[in-house]
Amino acid sequence: MAPLQDIFEGKIDFIGQRRVDSIARVALAACTIASFVVGYALQSLRVTMGTFALSTLLVVVMVVPPWPMYNRHPVRWRKD
């Protein structure tokens, strides 16, 4: 039961949390601008919405699961 709960909790350490926060913010802002520019250049609203949806999916895959790279700095508890 406990391993299942751990899987769903998806805990990451504090450095990882900070990294995930900045990745999500930068990536989404950049993808908004990029998808508008690309769609405007190609004069196709489908391209804009498509690239925006795909990039959001990419961000979700990169940020939500607890990848091991976000657990590289675990909290060091005191021994006593």
Partner 1 sequence: MHSALARINNVSSLFSTCLMVLLAAVALSSLFVTADPKGRIDVVSLKVYNAKAKRYPFKEQEFGFVKFDVDADLTPLFNWNTKQLFVYLEAEYANSQGVNNTIVLWDRIVSRKEDAHVVVSSGRNKYKLKELYESFKNTSPATFSLKYNVMPYVGLLTYGEAARTDGQEIPEARDAIA
H/E element, 73: none
Is 21 among the residues that bind partner 1 (CB under 8 A)? Answer: yes
Rounded to whole angstroms, how far apart are CA atoms 50 and 54?
6
Cβ distance to partner 1 smaller for residue 9 or 80: 9
**25 belongs to the binding site for partner 1 (CB under 8 A):** yes
Give whichever of 66 and 80 is closer to partner 1, judged by the CB atom.
66
Pick from 25, 36, 34, 14: nearest CA to 59: 25
Token pair of 61 as six digits: 């895959």
Residues that bind partner 1 (CB under 8 A): 8-12, 17, 20-21, 24-25, 28-29, 31-32, 35-36, 39-40, 43-45, 48, 52, 56, 59-60, 63-66
